Structure 1
Amino acid sequence: MACRISELVLDCADPERLAAFWSEVLGYVELGREDDGSIEIGPPDAGFGGPQPTLVLSPGSEPRAGKLPLHIDVNATDRDQDAELERLLALGAKPVDVGQTGTENWHVLADPEGNEFCLLHARLRPL
């Protein structure tokens, strides 16, 4: 028997803002809200328990010290990497320098709260 990732939880200062950002990035929709202010987003057709994990944006006030030990990687599904990079930047992502050499075939970006994520080169088939 094995486990699979069902959801990722990200503590953030503004769950509303990050839910909107990541919904646009991933093509997700809002699945629910909790009394504590958490917002869960996920694939529109599958929701929780589907083939892709959902993302829970949970309010947190603890300041982050340094780089996150875990980050999200994304791949375009319907356009090339350059076009997807332009789309992500227009949504509010910012380029981040984490010591890249400039020869990488991925881009390091940050969401509106500074959480790093990478846009990888390969285009994936949509689910």
Structure 2
Amino acid sequence: MARINRARIKRKRRYPTAGKSRFSRFGELEWNARYGNPKEYRKQVAMPTAGCAYAHRKTHNYCVVCLTKKSEEIHHAYYGNDIIGQSTFPTCYRCHNEICHSPINWIKNPSNPIWGNRNTDEFITRLRLGYQLLYGGVIW
């Protein structure tokens, strides 16, 4: 609940489908299984293999795609192996939606839409380069 002029109001959720299963022609699919328990995932701050806060700190809160804006999202280049700088990358909201998941860089797997979707190998190389530049201190 938020307060505006001392009145309690409900905030709209940023992602209305977050935490809910989505339906498709395949029946009910467990889309959120890719991330495990979302509350625990956000809390993991000191593990090199997972954790949103840890990933953002590693790049000094900068996006690995544009290298200029504040990172707000964690992008999975592919699912199943959450290693920061290898398969998961901190990105800004715009780059995550418009560049990382654009049809040019994102491959959809119709036979396994939950675990099979991934970025192209060329774009994964680009993400890793951006991560190395930020984490390795080349820009700093």
- TM range, smaller chain: under 0.3
Q: Which has the higher helix share?
A: 2
Give the alignment's TM-score, normalised by structure 1.
0.25
Give the alignment's TM-score, normalised by structure 2.
0.23
Higher relative contact order (CA 8 A, sep 6+): 1
